[in-house]
A and B are shown apart, each in its own frame.
Chain A
Amino acid sequence: MRFSLFNLVRQGLRGHADWPEQWRKAEPARSYDVVIVGGGGHGLATAYYLARRHGIRRVAVLDKGPIGLGNTGRNTTICRSNYLRPESIALYDHALRLWETLSAELDFNVMFSPRGVLMLAHTRHEVEVLERHVHADRLAGVDNVWLSPREAKAVCPPLELRSLRFPVLGAALQRRGGTARHDAVAWGYARAASALGVDICEGCEVGGIRVEAGRLVGLETSKGPIATETAALVAAGHSSVLAAMAGLALPITSHPLQALVSEPLKPCFPCVAMSGTIHAYVSQSDKGELVIGAGTDRYPSYGQKGSPPVIEDALEAVCELFPIFRRVRMLRQWAGIVDVTPDRSPVIGESPIRGLWLNCGWGTGGFKATPGSGHLFAWSIAHGRPHPIVAPFGLERFAAGRPIDEAAAAAVEH
Chain B
Amino acid sequence: MLLIPCPFCGPREEVEMVCGGEAGAPRPTDPRALDDAAWTAWLYGRVNRKGPQNEVWWHRAGCGRWFLLARDTRDDRVLGSWPIGAAPPAGLGLGEGGG
Pick from A240, A251, A299: contact of B44, CB below 8 A.
Answer: A251
> What residue in chain A is nearest B15 (Cβ atoms)?
A309
Known: A307-B1, A309-B15, A399-B37. A302 touches B45 (CB 8 A): no
Residue of A252, A254, A300 with most chain B CB atoms under a 10 A cut-off:
A300
Task: Give B13's nearest chain A residue, CB to CB.
Answer: A309
A249-B76 contact, Cβ under 8 Å, with A299-B14, A307-B2? no
- Within the complex, the shortest CB–CB distance from B61 to chain A, in Å, comes to 13
Q: Within the complex, which residue of B18, B36, B46 is in contact with A240, where a contact is CB–CB below 8 Å?
A: B46
CA distance A254 to B73 in the complex (A): 9
Tell me the residues in window 306-321 of chain A with beta carbons closer than 8 Å to chain B beta carbons. Answer: 307-309
Is B29 among interface residues, defined by CB-CB distance under 8 A?
no
The SS class assigned to the B binding surface is: mixed
Contact in complex: B48, A253 (CB < 8 Å): yes
A-chain residues with CB within 8 Å of residue B37 when the two chains form the complex: 399
Enumerate B1-55 residues with CB–CB distance to A below 8 Å.
Answer: 1-2, 13-15, 18-19, 21-22, 36-37, 40-41, 43-50, 53, 55
List A residues 292-312 near B (Cβ within 8 Å): 298-303, 307-309
Q: Is A211 on the interface with B (CB-CB < 8 A)?
A: no
Give which listed residue, B15, B45, B53, contacts A249 with CB less than 8 A: B45
Contacts of A302 in B (CB 8 A): 50, 73-74
Interface residue B96 (Cβ < 8 Å from any Cβ of A): no
Closest A residue to B40 using CB positions: A399
Tell yes or no: A69 within 8 A of B by CB.
Answer: no
> Chain A residues near B50 (CB, 8 Å)?
238, 240-241, 254, 302
**Residues of B contacting A399 in the complex (Cβ-Cβ under 8 angstroms):** 36-37, 40
The answer to whether A309 and B14 have CB atoms under 8 Å apart is yes
Kindly list chain B residues whose C-beta atoms are within 8 Å of the C-beta of A252: 46, 48
A297 shortest CB reach to chain B, Å: 9
Whether A250 sits at the interface, judged by CB under 8 Å, is yes
Contact of A19 with B by CB under 8 A: no
- State which of A300, A303, A308 has its C-beta within 8 Å of the C-beta of B19: A300
Any B CB within 8 A of the CB of A398: yes
Whether A342 sits at the interface, judged by CB under 8 Å, is: yes
Interface centre among B22, B49, B55 (most CB of A within 10 A): B49
Q: Please report which residues of chain A, range 354-399, place their CB below 8 angstroms from some CB of chain B when the two chains form the complex.
A: 398-399
Write out the residue numbers on chain B whose beta carbons fall within 8 Å of the beta carbon of A240.
46-50
- Residues of B whose CB lies within 8 Å of any CB of A are 1-2, 13-15, 18-19, 21-22, 36-37, 40-41, 43-50, 53, 55, 71, 73-76
A-B contact pairs, 17 of them (CB 8 A): A240-B46, A240-B48, A240-B49, A244-B47, A249-B41, A249-B47, A251-B46, A252-B46, A253-B21, A253-B46, A300-B21, A300-B53, A302-B50, A303-B75, A307-B1, A308-B1, A342-B44
The 5 closest A-B pairs by CB, nearest first: A240-B48, A249-B45, A251-B44, A299-B19, A399-B40
Given contact pairs A249-B46, A398-B44, a sample of 12 additional A-B residue pairs in the complex whose CB atoms are under 8 Å apart: A241-B48, A250-B46, A251-B45, A253-B21, A298-B18, A298-B19, A299-B76, A302-B50, A302-B74, A303-B73, A307-B14, A398-B40
